[in-house]
Amino acid sequence: MSSPAIERILGGPTGLGTSGLQLRPQAPAPQAPVPQAPAPQAVVPEVAAPAVTVPEAVVPEAAPAVPAPEAVAPAAPAVEAPAPEVPTASAAEAALVEVVAVEAIAAKIGVGTGAAPGIGTGSGALDALLDGFRLPSVPSLAQLLPASAAAAPRGGKPRTGDPIPGLYHHPIAEPDPVRVEALSQRIKAWAIDEIELYPPEWEKDFDGFSTGRYMVACHPDAPSIDHLMLAARLMVAENAVDDCYCEDLGGSPIGLGSRLLLAHTALDPLHTTGEYHPAWEASLGEDAARRSYRSAMDYFVRASTPSQADRFRHDMARLHLGYLAEASWAQDEHVPEVWEYLAMRQFNNFRPCPTITDTVGGYELPVELHALPAMQRVIALAGNATTIVNDLYSYTKELASPGLHLNLPVVISEREGVSRKKGYLKAVEVHNELMHAFEAESAALAVACPVPSLVRFLRGVAAWLDGNHYWHQTNIHRYSLPDFW
């Protein structure tokens, strides 16, 4: 395609939220300060829009700053923070921009032209492109690349608290103990005092879940404990629904659809007549699952923009759909094909957790960028990979449950006629392949669309995956590894 044609496509307006997606060197963009939240502790640090150096193709021009929305502390009155104004474009134009950008950069630096594995091979040009995206307190984009990760040694029997041998992952530093302690105290007070989540006999399991350590590890760029509480409440609520409706604490596949639908109205409220509204309102306090959903969502809505809240509702609908598929198989005692199981796990997975990284971080990924097909693929790969981490670390825990509990190692073993050990080790390989795909495509998307909020969102998702692995690896109260090495 000719240079004038590329310039016309990239010059906007585009559906990418900026006309600054250009294949050329760019002058440093002005800083995009984030306004402080009105309540104490909910102060979002200033994040400078990093300068991006892209291989030369056309004349230099400065990229516009991307404004970040206001983050509101959970205790504040409900405030609808306006979503950033983003130019719209047809899907065809947005897709064409993406294709042109990726192909042009690939031609310059050799990505996808036979250099295995494409991205993450130590290309100096690519390193130079990615270096400008580093932000304080957030893992650098280089950590999205396969070459920067560490797989556990394959030899020897793992000790308690060791990672799974051969599992591709990024080790992280211990979470800030001050933040962990503060968050742990606040989330427990919320669970006991505000919503009466659990009876005294469940306290040991609640403490053993280590919600504070989990969320601090997964959200290293959260500006305050208030922001971390947004993620912590939702995590506890989601776990309560899973335990109480589906699994450990009285859950059953029988009648699950009805229970999940009614609980979902705590996230996506019923709009009905005055006659029937009070009965629905009263139902939200009938059990711990609905109380936790309602309270956690109320806080989240007050701190997020309308589009962020709607994104979360849709991701939770995906999760509940996956619950129902798994419940159907349990009722029928059906073992799905491996691909069918993976399809279910794309819905029954961690997706709602990393995709709130921008809300917890005090900024917003514009809806147009979130909707990009390339972004949706990256998010799906991330959710699929990190959910298999759960299948692998919870394997022995699930073996102890009644009946045949489905997870990827078990389904591979049953459907492909191999031993449990071979099924487990193949599941490790499936995870690793998904992680490599997630990292390579994240890096390609960041290079093709160097918008600061998009790059930060990708790093936030990657950081969540690292934190999720850390939590599974180190939570010896819940998990232990099988004797396969």
Whether residue 72 is predicted with pLDDT greater than 70 in this model: the reply is no
Digit-coded pLDDT (tens) for 349-397: 999 999 999 999 999 999 999 999 999 999 999 999 999 999 999 999 9
Single pTM value for the model:
0.72
Give the number of other CB atoms < 10 A from CB of residue 275. Answer: 7
pLDDT of residue 190: 97
- Contact between 389 and 468 under an 8 Å Cβ cutoff? The reply is yes
Distance CA 186, CA 336 (A): 41
Whether residue 33 is predicted with pLDDT greater than 90 in this model: the reply is no
| Confidence category of residue 12, pLDDT binned at 50, 70, 90 | very low
- Contact between 268 and 284 under an 8 Å Cβ cutoff? The reply is no
Q: How many helices (H) and strands (E) does the chain have?
A: 19, 2
One-character DSSP codes across 180-246 = HHHHHHHHHHIIIIIS--S-GGGHHHHHHH-HHHHHHHH-TT--SHHHHHHHHHHHHHHHHHIIIII
Digit-coded pLDDT (tens) for 290-338: 999 999 999 999 999 999 999 999 999 999 999 999 999 999 999 999 9
Identify the helix (H) or strand (E) that includes residue 169. strand 168-169
pLDDT of residue 121: 29
pLDDT of residue 419: 97
Name the maximum alpha-carbon separation found in the chain.
Answer: 70
Question: Strands 168-169, 150-151: parallel, antiparallel or unpaired by DSSP?
Answer: antiparallel
Whether residue 249 is predicted with pLDDT greater than 60 in this model: the reply is yes
Q: Which residue has the tokens 């990239």?
A: 10
| Confidence category of residue 70, pLDDT binned at 50, 70, 90 | very low
Distance CA 139, CA 126 (A): 17
| Confidence category of residue 403, pLDDT binned at 50, 70, 90 | confident
Whether residue 32 is predicted with pLDDT greater than 60 in this model: the reply is no
Would you call 434 helix, strand, or coil by DSSP?
Answer: helix
